[in-house]
Structure 1
């Protein structure tokens, strides 16, 4: 009998969506358990799985793992289905590079500054901080230009084959372009915009769309 797969995550978290998108690309059935890492009521049992109290955590039978990039690599190696890591050295290196760019330079400005202030805060009846949006856009331009060059090169983000780079980046861009300013910035990078039009139409991306707060 195949061991059960459980994803402990927050439904609006991009990192939760990365893991779920990866599982769907591999055709793996899973169960979701909601954990709000911003709550004061995070269970002690969850902190035993993730000592830093963040999301997500993947549980596969008796095996538990946290940190999204590590989870994604585990999913690719542990389950049957189309491979999500290129076999050749250069595409594999570019894939890892995209993931690192997204985590280190893209997440905060694109999601926590631009999207959070332009989209999430108004949905919750809170004012947007225009200064934060401006700072986020400035930092995002460097990120988008770097990713556009990689997309144009064609080793990954090629709008033909899904890798872990696509799974990692798509949820970030998905939030970023919900801000009008983010959408306009993306349109100025043709290779990246072409990739986005393709990946946004993938079933694994559509099926993992979060329900935004209202």
Structure 2
């Protein structure tokens, strides 16, 4: 069996999701850097792996897969190690709900609008940040209700590792840190996540 290769970037939210899944399962792998923001855009070789030129992409024994949530589920089911998906139908449904919620409603306001504008731009667009605060609050309130221990039940799952990279960036913005602090259950969840070895091993360069 060949070593799985993950094509992506250390700064990428979705690459980190895939890396977290691999590390949680204890899967030895190689991260092959791909910078989709490089001049000229993705290479022809990468476009052959991913027709939309995004990251991450996983290659494993001749099988090529893109989309982080699909990669994470494949890793959980294809390799031995601790289960990353709940056993019951309701737990799996809740996990799928959280992952979909994060992709559909969280990534843009928390990362692209609030984090990027506040932290990555020399001159933040205050109007864009202000417009994103309401949607961000709805996301956090929705997850605060679920965060009793983990986001999809009593055990760590793909739902948790999907939120870790998003919240890691979001809380680097002053607005994000303040909004998280106002939600005690999510704050406690985040404190637990930050102690996990896999989370520490995949910290973004921006986290220092």
Structural mapping, 1:57-72, within 5 Å: 57-72=57-72
Q: Quick one: distance in 2 between partners of 1:50 and 1:63?
A: 13
SS of the aligned residue for 2:96 comes to helix
Aligned partner (choices 203, 206, 210) of residue 204 of structure 2: 210
Seen in structure 2, the aligned counterparts of structure 1 residues 17 and 171 have a Cα distance that, compared at 3 Å, is same
Q: Quick one: distance in 2 between partners of 1:44 and 1:117?
A: 31
Listed as ranges, the gaps of 5+ residues in structure 2 are none
Q: What's the TM-score, normalizing by structure 2?
A: 0.94
SS of the aligned residue for 1:94 comes to helix
Indicate yes or no: 2:96 matched with 1:96.
Answer: yes
Q: Quick one: distance in 2 between partners of 1:156 and 1:213?
A: 23
Indicate yes or no: 2:175 matched with 1:176.
Answer: no
How far did residue 41 of structure 1 move? 3.8
Aligned partner (choices 140, 146, 149) of residue 144 of structure 1: 140
Q: Quick one: distance in 2 between partners of 1:148 and 1:112?
A: 21
Indicate yes or no: 2:129 matched with 1:116.
Answer: no
- Segments ≥4 residues shifted beyond 2 Å: 154-158
Q: Quick one: distance in 1 between partners of 2:21 and 2:131?
A: 31
Q: Quick one: distance in 2 between partners of 1:213 and 1:174?
A: 8
- Structure 2 partner of 1:34: 33
Let me know the Cα RMSD of the aligned residues. 1.7
Q: Quick one: distance in 1 between partners of 2:195 and 2:150?
A: 20
- Structure 2 partner of 1:75: 75
- Structure 2 partner of 1:161: 155
SS of the aligned residue for 1:80 comes to coil
Q: Cα deviations across residues 182-210 of structure 1 (Å, max 9, x unaligned)?
A: 01101111211111110111110010012
How far did residue 85 of structure 1 move? 0.3
Q: What's the TM-score, normalizing by structure 1?
A: 0.92
How far did residue 129 of structure 1 move? 1.1
Q: Quick one: distance in 2 between partners of 1:213 and 1:191?
A: 22
Listed as ranges, the gaps of 5+ residues in structure 1 are none
How far did residue 52 of structure 1 move? 0.4
Contact 1:6 1:31 in 2 (8 A): yes
Q: Quick one: distance in 1 between partners of 2:89 and 2:30?
A: 34
How far did residue 48 of structure 1 move? 0.7
Contact 1:5 1:59 in 2 (8 A): yes
Contact 2:98 2:152 in 1 (8 A): no
Q: Cα deviations across residues 99-147 of structure 1 (Å, max 9, x unaligned)?
A: 00100000000000111011122xxxx2111111112222100000001
